[in-house]
Amino acid sequence: MNQAPMLNNIFSQPASHRAVMDLQQGPQRGIFQACADRIRNAPGRLFLSGMGASFFAAMPAADRLAQAGRSVQATDSAELLHFGGASFTRGDVAILISRSGGSIEVVHLAEKMRAAGVVTIALTNVPGSRLEQLADLTLLVGSHADELIAVQTYTGTVLTLLLLAEQVLTGQSAQTAAACLAVLPALADFIQRTWEQSASWGDILVGEGALYLIGRGPALASAQEGALLLHETAKSPTVAMSVGQFRHGPVEVVSSRFRAIVFGTPAVTRGHDRALAHDLQRMGATVRWIGPFEPAPGEESNPVASLGSWPEPASEFASLFEVVPLQIAAYRLAVWQGMTPGHFRYASEVTSQESGFPLFQAKTLCL
């Protein structure tokens, strides 16, 4: 595999998002509405669960629902499978997310929930999967397929869940889709400009120790997904953490060698997040900012540099924009280190068992 597929997937996201919205608002409109109705009318809790990128993709929608007063729990499927099953009750609804529909923890969780009487909605990009066979309802994402690393399938899942959350809360997913369509040209331009700017990111991406990705609220999904991308693509140690948790002790790791990217897209906490970025820079760290440029008090003379120029139309769909610099960063760093983006050494594209690493085991048998 050459180096082009992952980069093509990054640039193809606007077209992929259009396909996602065409599916949800067109041929799949009936099942989309049925899923929203089951969630809205459920007497119990709503669970959103998946593994890896599929789990992180649930976080912005969970935040939107929680902010509107809905009872919602977003938990990774392995934790929920082994430590949360005793609380399942009839009346609960679960959206179980798996790009392939074959992730073993998600499949086993679907089996356990089905036995407990939980209504399950499968959200997947691959029709005919084991997860679909187990679920009460299946909502296909309709994203263009990725080459191993989840790029447009990740943001396509984010978009599908945000549309579904809006339909549950207001019944106005069509208006949300129309607004998203209107910002796709800005997204395409943002991807192109960020790619061009990324050639100069060596100081933030290359260094000793782990790179920290720090955010909160819905932006924490992009921090988590960014860390996953850097792990998978560039084999680079990365820590994703909430701003609040970082301030409660981990800040002690900061030194002149410390590197961090701070997400400041949520408006409600932007002032606090920008203040953290400014403080880190004053402590001698190398810091970059993702989000609208709003300097903290006292920062005017030495502002924290942005990782790409934030486009004004992005705010409503920040989750689709803010992860782009991390997608590009993971690709760039892999190439700089002589790696092929998307080449796995130990993990499999679909995690089909809960212990062992089949790819690694197959290699050892050949030795």
Domains along the chain with CATH numbers:
4-171 (3.40.50.10490), 192-336 (3.40.50.10490)
**Tens-binned pLDDT, residue by residue, of the chain (367 aa):** 345 799 999 999 999 999 999 999 999 999 999 999 999 999 999 999 999 999 999 999 999 999 999 999 999 999 999 999 888 999 999 999 999 999 999 999 999 999 999 999 999 999 999 999 999 999 999 999 998 899 999 999 999 999 999 999 999 999 999 999 999 999 999 999 999 999 999 999 999 999 999 999 999 999 999 999 999 999 999 999 999 999 999 999 999 999 999 999 999 999 999 999 999 999 999 999 999 998 899 888 899 999 989 998 778 899 999 999 999 999 999 999 999 887 777 766 666 666 666 655 555 556 5
- Strand 286-290 and strand 259-263: the pairing is parallel
* 29 alpha-carbon distance from chain centroid: 24
The distance between the two most distant Cα atoms of the chain, rounded to a whole number of Å, is 61
pLDDT of residue 147: 86
Six-digit token pair at 210?
């782990």
- Among the listed residues 142, 125, 101, 138, the one whose alpha carbon sits nearest the alpha carbon of residue 16: 142
* 128 alpha-carbon distance from chain centroid: 24
pLDDT of residue 366: 62
- Cα separation, 24 vs 30, in Å, equals 9
**Cβ 178 vs Cβ 4: under 8 Å:** no
- Among the listed residues 214, 190, 189, 343, the one whose alpha carbon sits nearest the alpha carbon of residue 276: 214
- Among the residues of the chain, which ranges form H helices? 4-11, 13-25, 29-41, 53-56, 59-67, 77-83, 104-116, 130-134, 152-169, 173-197, 202-205, 219-234, 243-247, 270-282, 318-321, 324-336, 358-365
Eight-class DSSP state of 142 = -
- Cα separation, 274 vs 292, in Å, equals 10
Crossing angle, helix 13-25 and helix 173-197, to 10 degrees?
A: 170
Query: DSSP for 267-328?
Result: GGGHHHHHHHHHHHHHTT-EEEEESS--PPTT-TTSPPPBSSPPPGGGGGGHHHHTTHHHHH
- Cα separation, 302 vs 46, in Å, equals 45
Six-digit token pair at 366?
């050949």
pLDDT of residue 362: 58
pLDDT of residue 86: 85
